[in-house]
Structure 1
Amino acid sequence: MNKPLRRVAIFCGLLIFSLLIRDNWLQFVDGDSLKNDPHNRRVLINEYAKPRGDIIVGGKAVTGHKTTGDSDFQYERTYTDGAEWAPVTGFASQVYGTTLLEGVEDKILTGDDDRLFFNRTIDMLTGKQQQGGDVVTTLNSKAQDAAFKGLGDKKGAVAAINPQTGAILALASTPSYDPSTIADGSAKDSKAWSALQADKNQPMLNRALRQTYPPGSTFKIVTAAAALDNGLYSSIDEPTDSPLPYTLPGTTTTLNNEGPLPCHNATLKVALEVSCNTVFGHMGAQLGQAKMLAQADKFGFNKSLDIPVRTVASNFSNGMNSSQVALSSIGQFNTAATPLQMAMVAGAVANNGKLMTPYMVDQLRAPNLNVVQENSPKELDQAMTPQTAQKIQGMMEAVVSGGTGTMAQIPGVTVGGKTGTAQHGENNSGLPYAWFISYAKTAQGSPVAVAVVVEDGNANREEISGGGLAAPIAKSVMEAVLNK
């Protein structure tokens, strides 16, 4: 071979070698990223070319699918009671993607999860259409229904858990939306999406998991736990040596109570029963920043969780002065919590101090109903000693039997609770948030703990209270779990 031909052959060989390298690089290195690229229309076509698996509650699907007649997107997601379940399911849209359980468990639901490889292989060999797997939740349909209907046209959220396991029983958020209205790419769905995005009430916001509020007096449970665990008091019937009036440390500002309450030198039990700001503010300042922060962290503050949907972290600040610690200890200043976080606080009390990790997926199942993953209860932290928890149970039960939470009473059931009316807005200019956290205790233990927050912009300021607005909703959720 002469020299020019040899050079051409070598050059052609290098080109072929480069193409082979590039081809293998695209297939084995960039393959997954290209396959999952949101701009790759083939991914969406493949996803909606087969029936999507279902999200299951109490043995029944709250999702479904229907054929579209479209040559590309053959199937479309449907929802049963979509607005009620949207804070759990999220949405699966041919245009706008997926959120919440629809997003986190997308590969199981589409059938593309690696754990379903055997099922896909069998379907391919038998010529059967590929299907998605199912997500079996821990949710209780009666509790969810009670929570959603209890909130009604009010803005707010409810979270309910099993304190002994951490299983989530209800997650309601209002106002809500129907995910079916944005499931496809029609002009009607596009209009619905635009309306949802423009709505100032944020119906697509999951307030139970991703909105923090000042918890107000419900946070006094955390402060009481810090006081008892750190030996500030040995008994709930011990006088707290709290002044009235109480001036915040380093200021001339007087901390007020809601009305003429018996808060001067009140016992811990009485102070919680009537919700004395002065007692718990003074208590927090005495304990100091480090002890209060440590106690809040034990309850789950300052950390986000995957349940498996990611929650936002509730907040108890660091670097505060004594007056700020006092305000934070009554659930004000920078203290902020999600409804799920406050359900965890009530649950830890009910479970004798042991805080369980919340979760809302019980099983992931293959299309043939084989279980590919099963979740089990896990301890998150020991929020307080069992002795402290039992003392606080006595205090919370007194709140319901004869204090500010009497509207949560359930005949024949021991109920513990704590009300809260949290200020918000500059100089308390906004309508306060009504809170109630609670648990129900039976002979078998404490099967449910609930947190309710209501932002009722239509109520008169004087009518907003945790005991009046939030406690009846919590009661209905507890009754639903107990089959009362």
Structure 2
Amino acid sequence: MTRHIRHAAVLCALLLAALLVNAVRVQLVEAGSLETNPANRRVPIARFGQPRGDILVDGRPVTGSKDTGEQLRYERTYANGPLYAPVTGFASQVYGTSLLEEAEDGLLSGTDPMLAPLPLWNDLTRARSPGGEVRTTIRAAVQRAAFSGLGGKRGAVAALEPSTGKILALVSAPSYDPERLSGTGSAVADSWAELNRAREKPMLNRAIRRTYPPGSTFKVVTAAAALDSGTVTDLDAPTRSPDPYTLPGTRTRLTNEGDGCADASLRQAFQWSCNTVFAKLGVDTGLEPMVRTARNFGFNDADLRIPSAVARSNFDTSLDKAQLALSAIGQYDTRATPLQMAMVSAAVANGGSVRAPHLVDRTTTDDGDLVATTGQRTLRQAMHPATAMRLRELMTDVVEKGTGANAAIPGVVVGGKTGTAQHGVDNNGTPYAWFISWAQAPGDIEPSVAVAVVIEDAAADRGDISGGGSAAPIARAVMEAALKAAADADGGP
């Protein structure tokens, strides 16, 4: 009898050990795969079982959470959804997250270990901290000015503070209301299908996720390369540029929109945007200096994040001379996001230094305790400071005497560059209208805002589109709003 009891006890011990081993296997070894298994409903139930943390603009939340009382309890809400959609993105029970909602998902959902006073305890108990807050660098007045300026036209605006890299506005149009994707009902699926099949692509963030030929705005980069390399030493010396200019190795003749470009100086060519001068200037400067300068401005960088990923702006590294000539005027395969071209303008305004653009100022817990701040850092030096000063002079001339007069602000020093970029088969698409600029308020030591605007309105008459005519007034409104916001923040009138 004793032997049977002993055998039973051993069997029970073995079964208990097996249960313990299985518990360890399930809770530790297979925990990751089980947690991400689509059939596991506990994860989304827990995820939406508490309010999501908020995204703030000027210290005020532009997001919220609504208690539905359903299994996936809290739905995301958005204040002024279309205005801030290019910043926030969406957070959907069905379709996941995008943009800032995605990049800061851990903090907003409460899973970031930095939110927990005892992270190890949270890991063991599967507890979830309240969602934190993301305080953005966006200024509401600047964002509204950019959104209103576009007026629903297809295009984008990016505005930066040159000395810090803070993003003051990030607008893409047409936009959409991300709240339409909150919830689990059939209306959400219908909205998703409608938004994705829309010809205007309202969910595409044109400011950071779409690249365009930058056209003549790229002449800022070409001028920087020419000045830094010593190809041009005198802004007012003749450049020995013919009009028209025959692309090297071809019979293709490049012309200009207006007269007076033959043998024009760099100052005149920049002021009146002479294609022939800058195409030849790119060839004379050479491929290696052009590639190096473009890279220093931020082109060909596939790793830029703000913290959302930014599409790579392109300047080809292998070009023949004819291709280099076209690339030097922002055509051929040269492509840039509006954010990239705002970085170009900001580098000129900031003495040639390219500051890392960023959208998040700091993150906090739900009760305001600091979690992290975004450090200001220099990505690279785009050009010599003396070259930046000369480019500021050239860009100021464009606004005061040239094609950018519509960006002028009384009493303010404004520099700019227009651009009209060709695209489509045989360049027969409606040109993209560009304007990049910066503004320096009276009494300020340095410019406090840099802007890039692009308009791709396919409904417009081709002859009515120009960077100076279509995009410059939008840039002016954005700069005025930024200068006023900066003055208000400093306690000015």
How high is the TM-score relative to the length of structure 1?
A: 0.94
Q: 1:37 to 1:280 in 2, by over 3 A?
A: farther
Q: Name 1:170's counterpart in structure 2.
A: 169
Q: CA deviation at 1:30?
A: 3.7
Report matched runs for 1:50-449 at 5 Å. 50-70=50-70, 72-118=71-117, 131-259=130-258, 261-304=259-302, 305-442=304-441, 443-444=443-444, 445-449=446-450
Q: 1:122 to 1:409 in 2, by over 3 A?
A: farther
SS of the residue 2:24 aligns to: helix
Cα distance per residue 1:147-186 (max 9 Å; x no partner): 1111112000000000000000000001110001111111
- Alignment partner of 1:45 is 2:45: yes
Q: CA deviation at 1:193?
A: 1.1
SS of the residue 2:116 aligns to: helix
Deviating more after overlay: 366-375 vs 37-46: 37-46
Within 1, Cα distance between the matches of 2:421 and 2:109? 43
Runs of 4+ in 1 over 3 A off after TM superposition: 1-23, 36-40, 119-123
Amino acid at match of 2:321: S
Cα pair 2:110 2:128 within 8 Å, conserved: no
Amino acid at match of 1:328: S
Q: 1:10 to 1:372 in 2, by over 3 A?
A: same
Within 2, Cα distance between the matches of 1:373 and 1:291? 38
Q: 1:37 to 1:136 in 2, by over 3 A?
A: farther
Amino acid at match of 1:203: P
Q: CA deviation at 1:130?
A: 5.2
Cα distance per residue 1:184-228 (max 9 Å; x no partner): 111112211110111121100000000000000000000000000
Q: CA deviation at 1:348?
A: 0.1
Within 2, Cα distance between the matches of 1:483 and 1:299? 28
Q: 1:3 to 1:306 in 2, by over 3 A?
A: farther
Within 1, Cα distance between the matches of 2:52 and 2:207? 26
Within 1, Cα distance between the matches of 2:328 and 2:456? 22
Cα pair 1:77 1:92 within 8 Å, conserved: yes
Amino acid at match of 1:470: A
Q: CA deviation at 1:313?
A: 0.7
Within 2, Cα distance between the matches of 1:269 and 1:240? 10
Q: 1:188 to 1:5 in 2, by over 3 A?
A: same
Q: 1:217 to 1:110 in 2, by over 3 A?
A: same
Within 2, Cα distance between the matches of 1:322 and 1:18? 73
SS of the residue 2:117 aligns to: helix
Q: 1:252 to 1:77 in 2, by over 3 A?
A: same
SS of the residue 2:235 aligns to: coil
Amino acid at match of 2:94: V
Unaligned runs of 5+ in 1: none
Deviating more after overlay: 434-443 vs 216-225: 434-443
Cα pair 1:120 1:130 within 8 Å, conserved: no
Q: CA deviation at 1:69?
A: 2.2
Q: CA deviation at 1:10?
A: 9.1
Within 2, Cα distance between the matches of 1:169 and 1:295? 26
- State, as a whole percentage, how many aligned pairs show the same letter: 52
Q: Name 2:481's counterpart in structure 1.
A: 480
Cα pair 2:132 2:364 within 8 Å, conserved: yes
Q: CA deviation at 1:474?
A: 0.5
Report matched runs for 1:27-42 at 5 Å. 27-37=27-37, 40-42=40-42
Within 2, Cα distance between the matches of 1:122 and 1:80? 35
Within 1, Cα distance between the matches of 2:120 and 2:25? 26
Q: CA deviation at 1:243?
A: 1.5
Q: 1:13 to 1:426 in 2, by over 3 A?
A: farther
Cα pair 1:119 1:366 within 8 Å, conserved: no
Cα distance per residue 1:422-476 (max 9 Å; x no partner): 0000100211100000000133221100000000111111000000111011111
Amino acid at match of 2:451: V
Amino acid at match of 1:143: V
Q: 1:247 to 1:35 in 2, by over 3 A?
A: same
SS of the residue 1:172 aligns to: strand
Q: CA deviation at 1:93?
A: 0.7
Within 1, Cα distance between the matches of 2:273 and 2:362? 41
Q: 1:129 to 1:40 in 2, by over 3 A?
A: closer
SS of the residue 1:389 aligns to: helix
Within 2, Cα distance between the matches of 1:12 and 1:121? 33
Within 2, Cα distance between the matches of 1:121 and 1:269? 63
SS of the residue 1:415 aligns to: strand
